């Protein structure tokens, strides 16, 4: 596994709306492997292999992460924030954070809040950057600056990794690594490291409208249900148990069959997650555009989602890379995805 690339992604903040820096990391990594790039004013980036091919596969893994945004500075220098994405207030209390400013990173803490308060909210947080006045803080940070957890990554026992923003750096990493390894595919490969999934889904929307793909493969994370003792509502998903494949009304049965055939060829165990309505991932945006695009959602089992200590298993990540690569290599450009034909 290309851990060096993965760690560079994890070390680069990319709250939803501020993804340019991490897309430059992707550009630098992918230049030797792709034929061209498609860029967009939204910071969306698509790495393309075989742009001349008529049959096009759009692969999506979102590159943005949840975070906070500065909204106000008090007279005493303390700072109010709001959420970008589904950030949870108590996850930030007592935490070291980084403020992304035009002049670089400013360090801060959230340490003055009472998390025992009922219905603790983001609005209850106060950011302390070590200043004593509004003017002193204003000289360092400004309204609209983004805030993320300082914690980046740490390897744990039994081939596991803990980090901020594995949701969905892992998905972006996986589709890029799969495209690198599937250059002998006979179809056009469009690996979109999408922006804004945590807030608006704009990246997947723009990518789909630009590429006009025949099919879509989306990689995101899903809740591992092996650690909290709760009865799983969508299926038992175990860390290290293999790729989690979504089954449901928005998922192409033909693509599902192709993924299952690849898993059999490779000897990779699959886990299944039921989604009877929307999946609330980029796959919804892809599926509902154009005239309805056949799509498959493959997820990485993840513990403690939307925290600074999300946990994944390296084997699940490697299995999904190999699985997608095999699907792409064996994909017939003449494959019909209409089950009526």
Tell me the pLDDT tens digit for each residue of 233-275: 577 899 999 999 999 999 999 999 999 999 999 999 999 999 9
Q: Are residues 44 and 184 in the same domain?
A: yes
Taken in order 64, 68, 71, 72, is the CA torsion positive or negative? negative
Host domain of residue 13? 3-65+164-330
Q: Are residues 42 and 104 in the same domain?
A: no
Tell me the pLDDT tens digit for each residue of 209-241: 999 999 999 999 999 988 765 555 577 899 999
What is the pLDDT, as a whole number, of residue 116? 66
Give CA 34 to chain center in angstroms.
21
Mean pLDDT for the chain?
94
Q: Are residues 169 and 189 in the same domain?
A: yes
- What contacts 24+ positions apart, CB below 8 Å, involve 30-36? 30/176, 30/180, 30/191, 33/179, 33/180, 33/183, 34/179, 34/191
Which domain-ending residue is among 115, 149, 183? Answer: 149
Sheet with 160-163, strands from edge to edge, namely: 153-155, 160-163, 310-313
Please identify which residue in the block is written with the tokens 């008090």. Answer: 74
Does residue 341 lie in a domain region?
no
What is the pLDDT, as a whole number, of residue 113? 66
Tell me the pLDDT tens digit for each residue of 142-197: 999 999 999 889 999 999 999 999 999 999 999 999 999 999 999 999 999 999 99
Q: Are residues 181 and 260 in the same domain?
A: yes
Query: What CATH number is given to the structural domain containing 82?
Result: 2.40.30.40
Does residue 39 lie in a domain region?
yes
Does residue 158 lie in a domain region?
no
pLDDT confidence tier of residue 89, bands split at 50, 70 and 90: confident
pLDDT-wise least confident of 90-99, 296-305, 321-330: 90-99
What is the pLDDT, as a whole number, of residue 88? 86
Does residue 338 lie in a domain region?
no
pTM for this structure? 0.95
């Amino acid at each position: 596994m290309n851990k060096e690339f993965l760690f560079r992604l994890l070390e680069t903040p990319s709250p939803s709306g501020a993804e340019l820096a991490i897309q430059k990391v992707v550009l630098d990594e992918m230049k030797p492997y792709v034929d061209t790039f498609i860029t967009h004013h939204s910071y969306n980036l698509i790495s393309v292999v075989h742009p001349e091919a008529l049959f096009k596969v759009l692969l999506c893994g979102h590159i943005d992460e949840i975070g906070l945004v500065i909204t106000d500075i008090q007279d005493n220098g303390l700072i109010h924030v709001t959420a970008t994405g589904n950030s949870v207030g108590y996850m930030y209390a007592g935490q070291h954070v980084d403020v992304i400013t035009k002049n670089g990173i400013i360090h801060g803490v959230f340490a003055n809040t009472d998390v025992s308060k009922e219905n603790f909210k983001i609005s209850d947080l106060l950011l302390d950057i070590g200043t004593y006045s509004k003017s002193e803080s204003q000289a360092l940070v400004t309204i609209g600056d983004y805030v993320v957890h300082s914690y980046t990554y740490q390897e744990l026992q039994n081939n596991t990794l803990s980090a901020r923003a594995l949701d969905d750096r892992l998905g972006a990493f996986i589709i890029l690594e799969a495209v690198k390894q599937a250059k002998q595919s006979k179809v056009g490969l469009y690996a979109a490291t999408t922006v804004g999934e945590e807030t608006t889904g704009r990246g997947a929307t723009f990518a789909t409208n630009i590429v006009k793909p025949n099919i879509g493969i989306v990689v995101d994370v899903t809740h591992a249900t092996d650690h909290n003792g709760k009865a799983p509502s969508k299926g038992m998903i175990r860390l290290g148990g293999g790729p989690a494949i979504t089954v449901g009304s928005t998922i192409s049965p033909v693509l599902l069959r192709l993924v299952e055939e690849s898993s059999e060829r490779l000897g990779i165990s699959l886990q299944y997650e039921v989604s009877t309505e929307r999946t609330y991932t980029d796959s919804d945006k892809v599926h509902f555009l154009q005239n309805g695009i056949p799509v498959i959602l493959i997820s990485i089992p993840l513990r403690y989602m939307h925290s600074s200590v999300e946990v994944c298993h390296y084997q699940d990540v490697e299995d999904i890379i190999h699985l997608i690569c095999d699907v792409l290599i064996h994909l017939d450009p003449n494959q019909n995805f209409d089950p009526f034909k």
